Structure 1
Amino acid sequence: MSNLADQYREFWDDLLRDAEVSGEPQQACFFELYARTAAENGDCTDLTYTPVRKEGTQGYQIDGYALDTDRGELHLAVCDLRPDAELEALNQTQIASLFRRAERFFRAALRPEFINALEEVSPAFEAAYPIHAHQNLIRRVRIIVFSNARLATRKRSVESQEISGKTFTYNLLDFPRYVSIMGSRNGSEPIEIDIADLNAKPLPCLQAHTGDDTYQSYLVVMPGQLLAKIYGLYGARLLEQNVRTFLQARTKVNQGIIQTLLNSPTMFFAYNNGLTATASRISTQKLEDGSLGIASIENLQIVNGGQTTASILYAHDRNKADLSQVSVQMKLSVVDSDRIEEVVPKISRFANTQNRISEADFFSNHPFHVTMEKISRRLPAPQKAGAFSSTKWFYERARGQYKDQKAYGTAAARRKFEIEFPADQVFVKTDAAKYELTFACMPHVVSQGAQKCFLAFAETVSKSWEQNPDAFNELYYKDLIAKAIIFTWVDQMIAASDWYMEDRGYKANIVTYTIAWLVNHLKQNGLLLDFQQVWNRQEPDDSLKRGLEHCAPIVARAVKDTPADIKNVSEYAKRQACWAAVSRLQISLPGDLSGCASDRAESSRLRKDALEVKKIDNGIELDALLIRIAPLAGRIKEEAQTRRLLSPSSDSGLRKLVAGNLKLSQSEKKAVGHLLSRLQESGASLPA
């Protein structure tokens, strides 16, 4: 408990700091922290912050919502923020009360008189109007409570019930669960599914392979009703992170799957490719006929077949499909928890080779992230004016890296780490996506939420990486940090502005649109922002600050000026039409921005120079690698022959290394380097 108490005090300090830095209320900062974590874990999609509260016996409350009309799902979040620096207890009565408050808001939003009584610019209207307008499409309401308290008695499963023909599921993200998710290494929180209870009996299975103690595989025929029930309860938490992000971003259901479920349910098993899933542990029982059955599954993750799973639930909810005759084949790999992080991404990648998800296979192990991480750990930022030492930015490739490294070593070592890597210079993958797409003049995509923004970024950068990985070098990293600096400054500037404090709301949209407008304005005049200047100063130029301060309130008014047929500002900000309207704004900027900009020729020269430096660095790194692997060249050659990966040039190069000759030709060096990469991709163990 002492450890949890320490973690809570650290969390509380971080929350207070975030509120002070951002200028936002503690409640808003708390919501953002928990909503981001819940979305990454699959508890909900990206939520829009809409704090609504009414006290009294028939009072209601929500703090955020998300509506997926394609799948007929509504997410409602309720915040339970305790204003205490010590961890408090939470009981079932309090949780039930919070769930009821969200239910009452939902029911109120269905009534025309409630909608008509609301101010159209209020958070209540922003959340209630989409519910009212799309009430006939909503089949499932997922309510989640965000609490910084601790539930005394933890329930093992998510609860659900039917209300007025709609399925309500109830979920809780309390502080211990928040800590558990943040400490998870594979991007999700382990869940335990009681198959015997949900299915009324264990699920028959065939053990297909008995490997060592760290891996077993099973073939399962999954009843459609059971799959819909499990997905209805746990939602996207069942999906491996690649599949989850892809599915959340691509909201359209597969009509081919729907038609098969409705018209040929008995043939679904034959027509559908089925599921590939992993688990960290299962419990089995002998069935009456002597065969094996799965009684429970721990940490079930669907790595291929997410669209099938979601479509089955959709057909059940929306089309009232009879799933009693539907069966789905499932290949279940049980992987030891210590190997989950290593094995599951590979299973996902290989299982999805015929699927567009492979384009977004862009999570923590992609070389882009590894490269950004390496540069961030070694490259110091220029010393700020008045600072006594230089610092570094910390790119968190995998969740929890910063806290893990900060916690390591003595108190003196921790202080040294915090000085070298300040907490306000930590940024994560979704932050990088937000910065890049903002400066690429795609604020409407950024406004769609972290998950959709990240997928768009992933697809773009994956293609660029395939074409020229050397372009992601120190210059690219410095530009990325400069974008982070500008973005953060604009966020803080807007939060502290009088015009914003008089009419709070939509800050995230205003920030990305303000920057995008200015970047687009410069581009139309043949100029680009001078990111190297921002990197060198570690803050924006004064003329750039004045320009952003001037245009921000004008852009804000344009974003909030929705067309007559769109009532919701947040939804409008997600559309290309909003960016088209904002980009057409004619704003006279104060002063000259040429001092914070550069022309295209200068930018092109810098990129060309950076590529040359990167090529030299690559050559040095490859030479060092060849020296390291020389004693193992014979074993590497045998491994490559076994896997049929050996080319004439790589064979020639490895023969020289075996003979102790390090003088390889350029083509031989490249061939051996390429071979080593292919061996790693195929799962071979190689020296670092």
Structure 2
Amino acid sequence: MATDESLTLFSEELIADVEQKCEESDEMLVQPEMQAEAEFSKLMFERLGDAGIVSEIVPFYLKRARFRVDGYGLNPEEDYLDLFATFYRPDLPPSSISREQINSQFRQLRAFFLQTSENLSEQLTATASPAADDVKLIKSALPRFNRVRLFLITNLLAPEKAIEDEIENGTEFEFHIWDLRRLYRITATNQERDDIVVDFLHDFGSPIPCIPLFDDDPTSDYKACLSVFPGEVLYRLYKKHNARLLERNVRAFLQTTGRVNKGIRKTIIERPDRFFAYNNGISITADDIEYEPPSKENGGEWKIRRVKNFQIVNGGQTMASIYSAYRRSEENVKRIHVQAKITVVKPELVDEIVPKISMYSNSQNKVSDADFFANDAFHVAMHKASTKHWTVSAGRQTKWYYERVRGSYAEEKTLKGKAFEKEYPRNQKFDKTEFARFYMAWNGSPHIAGLGAQKCFASFTKKLAELHPEVDDAFFKNSVVLVLLAKRTIALVKAEKYGGYENHIANYSLALLEQSFRQSKKRLNSERIWRDQSLPQALEATIISLSKHVVGAMRLIPEGKNLYEWFKKSSSWELVSALELSVENLDLP
């Protein structure tokens, strides 16, 4: 449980992050509070994505008399639509948001959904609103959804009582509040997720039979049990928690391979009676298991009553495939059973033991979860390198901080005080998902860089598994140069005021810049950029020129096509990269 002091410190860091984003942004809105709200939205969308709470979120602000929306999420593999509202106030100490304010935000989101399902896109098209394309995209996807998840994200403190789901005209509405407490839990170091507590007695009506492993060895560093879960229990767990059930590296693995395994789903639909025989089962880790001991009333069996911090480290495709198959054959899912091994690991040993559980469970896979756990070593090496290399910034020596674990910068700043921030200025911090985006864009995959934090990071991780780069001094310095280059590219693109899609345009501009260097057989002067901690003016002019080529390609797109989706296609990068650029006329210093 977070203390008042820790929440206040977290709130201070969050507000400082938003203020920094506002300073970095050249996309100034009329009202400063609107700018802060917009930057808060982007920041929170990234963090919820990193934590696996949601898939990709498209920032999308639209407000009318009766509705407002700040973002949406469309995942082609799921049966739900995500809609987001944000509520930001720079209050210190953090204040509270009332139940009436919460209800008002949800009413406005719900009104947006209802109007979208009717004629909102036609109204926006008639007024030539740039929002029309997004609303058309959402409306076109509505037939496959039977759930709408409404999210309110706020940096204030909300009442802890949850809002019950509702059903209206056959559509199920879920209400999710992410307030300061919950944001703290997924952001604070050593707790990158909101704990999932599964109470089988409360949630499913009865505990689950099991065979516990009782080890009298006092030196044992884990406890375990075996169980068999009914298919419907796993379906309901996945429906409620979705990818949050999956350990972060397993989520990354599924982003690259696809969540649903056709073979598993085929067995459920065609031979549910053989599912238990064919399937390898799932491996789960937990912080604690609460047992119900044998008694006459429960048939003399040990049973699992409650599991704290339920995380699947092997079997992600099994879970997703069961969820997918339920929509086609509910009765068959109710017939299947899945073997499960649950391991209780001491918190201090999670980083050591959990990767090995996954590694040994997945040794048959060509690209397994183990590859993703192994790549944790890359991020450890990057963080270690960031503690070594000094540079001169604003006339004083500083370092760049690589945030391997979300929230570690804030925690170190709290522990070490102002001296830490002098050594590592806030604007010289970059995290692993940010670096993944810049790396993929620079290395010829701007369409992947624009897929969203989770999917981009998954592809980046797969690339690391193939290349195994050595994080030596040169690699780290070149990485910082890339971050400098990318952040400045984003700022330059925003300053051109192209009217939207700035992040995608920046990704493509970076990719074109690398291609231009390669084709002209010139080299980026990384040593100069590292030394100066800034870009030469001639290079900035080149970036602006390349961004105009990207915008020119956008104008070739048929009317009515959604540009956000267009930027994510490999065919779009093929089109842009094939443009005839006057490379000899571009100044490439």
Which residue of the partner structure matches residue 483 of structure 1?
482
Q: Report the secondary structure of 1:151's partner residue.
A: coil
Is the 8 Å Cα contact of residues 315 and 321 (structure 1) preserved in structure 2?
A: no
2:428 aligned with 1:425: yes
Residue 346 to residue 515, structure 1, CA distance change in 2 (3 Å): same
Is the 8 Å Cα contact of residues 68 and 251 (structure 1) preserved in structure 2?
A: no
CA distance in 2, matches of 1:164, 1:339: 49
Is the 8 Å Cα contact of residues 259 and 317 (structure 2) preserved in structure 1?
A: no
CA distance in 1, matches of 2:168, 2:546: 48
Is the 8 Å Cα contact of residues 400 and 429 (structure 2) preserved in structure 1?
A: yes
RMSD over aligned Cα atoms: 2.5
Residue 561 to residue 94, structure 1, CA distance change in 2 (3 Å): farther
2:340 aligned with 1:335: no
1:145 to 152, 174, 182: 152
Which residue of the partner structure matches residue 197 of structure 1?
202
Residue 250 to residue 187, structure 1, CA distance change in 2 (3 Å): farther
Q: Report the secondary structure of 1:323's partner residue.
A: helix
Matches within 5 A, 1:258-277: 258-277=265-284
Question: Could you tell me how far 1:584 is from its partner in structure 2?
Answer: 2.6
Residue 201 to residue 404, structure 1, CA distance change in 2 (3 Å): same
> 1:5-41: CA deviations, max 9, x gaps?
2332332132122112123421221112211111122
Matches within 5 A, 1:464-483: 464-465=467-468, 471-483=470-482
Is the 8 Å Cα contact of residues 106 and 131 (structure 1) preserved in structure 2?
A: no
1:19 to 15, 19, 22: 22
Query: For structure 1, which segment, 89-98 or 177-186, has the greater mean C-alpha deviation from structure 2 after superposition?
Result: 89-98
CA distance in 2, matches of 1:74, 1:456: 24
> 1:259-305: CA deviations, max 9, x gaps?
22222223221221111011101222235212121122111001111
Give the aligned residue type for 1:33: L
Which residue of the partner structure matches residue 240 of structure 1?
247
> 1:305-351: CA deviations, max 9, x gaps?
11111111112235545422121111111123333333222222222
Which residue of the partner structure matches residue 448 of structure 2?
445
2:572 to 571, 578, 587: 578
Is the 8 Å Cα contact of residues 139 and 318 (structure 1) preserved in structure 2?
A: no
2:371 aligned with 1:361: yes
Is the 8 Å Cα contact of residues 224 and 324 (structure 1) preserved in structure 2?
A: yes
Question: Computing the radius of gyration over CA atoms, which structure comes out larger, 1 or 2?
Answer: 1
CA distance in 1, matches of 2:191, 2:428: 24
Residue 28 to residue 556, structure 1, CA distance change in 2 (3 Å): farther
Which residue of the partner structure matches residue 256 of structure 1?
263
Is the 8 Å Cα contact of residues 276 and 337 (structure 2) preserved in structure 1?
A: yes
Question: Could you tell me how far 1:428 is from its partner in structure 2?
Answer: 1.2
Query: For structure 1, which segment, 124-133 or 59-68, has the greater mean C-alpha deviation from structure 2 after superposition?
Result: 124-133
Which residue of the partner structure matches residue 526 of structure 1?
521
Give the aligned residue type for 2:106: F
Matches within 5 A, 1:621-636: none
> 1:573-612: CA deviations, max 9, x gaps?
0001211222233344796524x2xxxxxxxxxxxxxxxx
Give the aligned residue type for 1:195: F
Question: Could you tell me how far 1:231 is from its partner in structure 2?
Answer: 1.1
> 1:549-570: CA deviations, max 9, x gaps?
2332342342465335x62111
Is the 8 Å Cα contact of residues 280 and 336 (structure 1) preserved in structure 2?
A: yes
Is the 8 Å Cα contact of residues 12 and 85 (structure 1) preserved in structure 2?
A: no
CA distance in 1, matches of 2:69, 2:258: 24
Question: Could you tell me how far 1:183 is from its partner in structure 2?
Answer: 0.9
CA distance in 1, matches of 2:327, 2:111: 22
CA distance in 2, matches of 1:559, 1:359: 38
Question: Could you tell me how far 1:487 is from its partner in structure 2?
Answer: 0.7
Which residue of the partner structure matches residue 114 of structure 1?
120
In the TM superposition, structure 1's runs of 4+ consecutive aligned residues that sit over 6 Å from their partners are none
Give the aligned residue type for 1:255: K
Matches within 5 A, 1:90-101: 90-101=97-108
Q: Report the secondary structure of 2:124's partner residue.
A: coil
Is the 8 Å Cα contact of residues 255 and 458 (structure 2) preserved in structure 1?
A: no
2:231 aligned with 1:221: no
Question: Could you tell me how far 1:424 is from its partner in structure 2?
Answer: 0.8
Matches within 5 A, 1:643-654: none
Residue 128 to residue 518, structure 1, CA distance change in 2 (3 Å): same
CA distance in 2, matches of 1:185, 1:430: 18
Question: Could you tell me how far 1:177 is from its partner in structure 2?
Answer: 0.9
CA distance in 2, matches of 1:85, 1:556: 42
CA distance in 1, matches of 2:124, 2:237: 38
Which residue of the partner structure matches residue 494 of structure 1?
493
- Structure 2: where are the runs of 5+ without partners? 28-34
CA distance in 2, matches of 1:496, 1:60: 30
Residue 508 to residue 150, structure 1, CA distance change in 2 (3 Å): same
Residue 160 to residue 208, structure 1, CA distance change in 2 (3 Å): farther
Is the 8 Å Cα contact of residues 148 and 171 (structure 2) preserved in structure 1?
A: yes
Which residue of the partner structure matches residue 291 of structure 1?
301
Is the 8 Å Cα contact of residues 203 and 295 (structure 1) preserved in structure 2?
A: yes
Residue 284 to residue 21, structure 1, CA distance change in 2 (3 Å): same
Matches within 5 A, 1:536-575: 536-559=531-554, 561-563=556-558, 567-575=561-569
> 1:410-430: CA deviations, max 9, x gaps?
xxxx32221221111111111
Which residue of the partner structure matches residue 129 of structure 1?
136
Question: Could you tell me how far 1:86 is from its partner in structure 2?
Answer: 4.3
CA distance in 2, matches of 1:246, 1:365: 12
Q: Does 1 or 2 have the higher relative contact order (CA < 8 Å, sep 6+)?
A: 2
Question: Could you tell me how far 1:123 is from its partner in structure 2?
Answer: 6.0
Which residue of the partner structure matches residue 396 of structure 2?
389
> 1:424-453: CA deviations, max 9, x gaps?
111111122112111112100101111111
Residue 9 to residue 83, structure 1, CA distance change in 2 (3 Å): closer
Which residue of the partner structure matches residue 612 of structure 1?
none
Q: Report the secondary structure of 1:71's partner residue.
A: coil
Residue 53 to residue 138, structure 1, CA distance change in 2 (3 Å): same
Query: For structure 1, which segment, 550-559 or 505-514, has the greater mean C-alpha deviation from structure 2 after superposition?
Result: 550-559
Matches within 5 A, 1:49-68: 49-55=59-65, 59-68=66-75
Q: Report the secondary structure of 2:125's partner residue.
A: coil
Residue 159 to residue 507, structure 1, CA distance change in 2 (3 Å): farther
Give the aligned residue type for 1:194: D
Aligned length: 573
Question: Could you tell me how far 1:374 is from its partner in structure 2?
Answer: 2.0
CA distance in 1, matches of 2:374, 2:168: 41
Matches within 5 A, 1:150-229: 150-155=157-162, 159-185=164-190, 187-210=192-215, 212=218, 214-229=221-236
Which residue of the partner structure matches residue 664 of structure 1?
none
Residue 171 to residue 247, structure 1, CA distance change in 2 (3 Å): farther
Q: Report the secondary structure of 2:84's partner residue.
A: strand
2:503 aligned with 1:508: yes
Give the aligned residue type for 2:10: Q
Matches within 5 A, 1:367-406: 367-381=377-391, 383-384=392-393, 387-406=394-413
- Structure 1: where are the runs of 5+ without partners? 597-688
> 1:97-135: CA deviations, max 9, x gaps?
333332332232222x32222239756434322232122
Q: Report the secondary structure of 1:243's partner residue.
A: helix
TM-score normalised to structure 1 length = 0.78
Give the aligned residue type for 1:235: N
* Identical pairs, percent: 31
Residue 321 to residue 250, structure 1, CA distance change in 2 (3 Å): farther
2:83 aligned with 1:76: yes
